[in-house]
Amino acid sequence: MTDGMSDDPRALVATGSQVLAAAGQGDMVWGHLAVRDPGGRGVWMKSAGWGLEEITPDRVLLVSWTGELLEGEGRVHLEHHIHTEIMRARPDVHVSLHTHSLTVNAFSALGEPLRALGHDAVVFAEHGLPRFTATDNLVRTPQLGRALAADLGDARACLMPGHGLAAVGRDIAHAVMYAILLERACRTQLTARAAGELRHWTGHQECLEKDAVAWPDSQIDAGWRYWRRRAALLQAL
Ligand SMILES: [Zn+2]
């Protein structure tokens, strides 16, 4: 990190979780974010039983590649397979997250492609926005985790119809921003669809060009810093 934020995976998980909550993606005590262990032992993720906004570094656990609790005190989320299997399949991914966004679920139920109606959706133009098809149920086995990783492919996020979303990034800024941008893009399309038919959206080629201009690393980082400030304000209330 270049802005004084700790590289400690516990701190990254806590801050990322609080930002997701501040962005409205909490679902009581469900949903989670994981950071790849720099030592290769597994993933750091929040303990079960806490809301995203309640996560502090002492509520973060080191979970092995096969789901054992290696460090920290608390219960491992049943759906840790989402993170262990995605990170096993994607060496480029250092942060993965899963939320039960109501907005994304409402959008997924339409069964239609995401259209770029603003800046948000263009980040998904290059690699697409796949749908997880194996189950609407919890990702409770390694096999389902691998199926999710396969459906995700090399994309930045994946719809999980009837359940939520998964988003990934090479660092916490990218993973969290992709989740926030996806929720906003889905909300925009739902709003337009509620009012009538879609008659205008940005075409694929212009999306690619716009992604390069609107979402270079510097802008992803600027958005991430904004959300960290906003989450800190909420935590101080
Ligand atoms: Zn879930």
Residue 51 forms part of a structural domain: yes
Residue 168 forms part of a structural domain: yes
Residue 41 forms part of a structural domain: yes
pLDDT higher than threshold 50 for residue 126? yes
Chain segment 184-229, per-residue pLDDT in tens = 999 999 999 999 999 999 999 999 999 999 999 999 999 999 999 9
Distance 201 CA to ligand 1 centre (A): 31
CA nearest to 179, candidates 227, 137, 140 = 227
Residue 126 forms part of a structural domain: yes
Distance 27 CA to ligand 1 centre (A): 9
- DSSP sequence for 141-169: SHHHHHHHHHHHTT-SEEEETTTEEEEEE
Q: For residue 72, which amino acid is it?
A: G
Distance 219 CA to ligand 1 centre (A): 29
pLDDT band at 3 (very low <50, low <70, confident <90, very high): low
Chain segment 163-182, per-residue pLDDT in tens = 999 999 999 999 999 999 99
Calpha distance 94→174 (Å, rounded): 10
**CATH assignment at residue 153:** 3.40.225.10
The strand ranges marked E within 27-105 are 32-36, 42-46, 60-64, 69-71, 95-99
| Structure tokens, 179 | 């989740």
pLDDT higher than threshold 70 for residue 133? yes
Per-residue buried b or exposed e for 84-98, using 16+ beta carbons within 10 Å of the residue's own CB: bbbbbbbeebbbbbb
> Is 27 in a helix, a strand, or coil?
strand
Domain range enclosing 183: 9-228
Distance 140 CA to ligand 1 centre (A): 9
| Number of separate domains in the chain | 1
Chain segment 63-111, per-residue pLDDT in tens = 999 999 999 999 999 999 999 999 999 999 999 999 999 999 999 999 9
Residue 58 forms part of a structural domain: yes
First CA to last CA across the chain, in angstroms?
Answer: 26
Supply φ then ψ for residue 44, to 5 degrees: -95, 125
Distance 148 CA to ligand 1 centre (A): 12
Residue 237 forms part of a structural domain: no
Distance 166 CA to ligand 1 centre (A): 9
Distance 77 CA to ligand 1 centre (A): 9
Residue 235 forms part of a structural domain: no
Chain segment 135-173, per-residue pLDDT in tens = 999 999 999 999 999 999 999 999 999 999 999 999 999
Supply φ then ψ for residue 132, to 5 degrees: -80, 125
Place of tokens 């609790």: 69
Calpha distance 145→93 (Å, rounded): 15
Residue 2 forms part of a structural domain: no
| Structure tokens, 27 | 């679902």
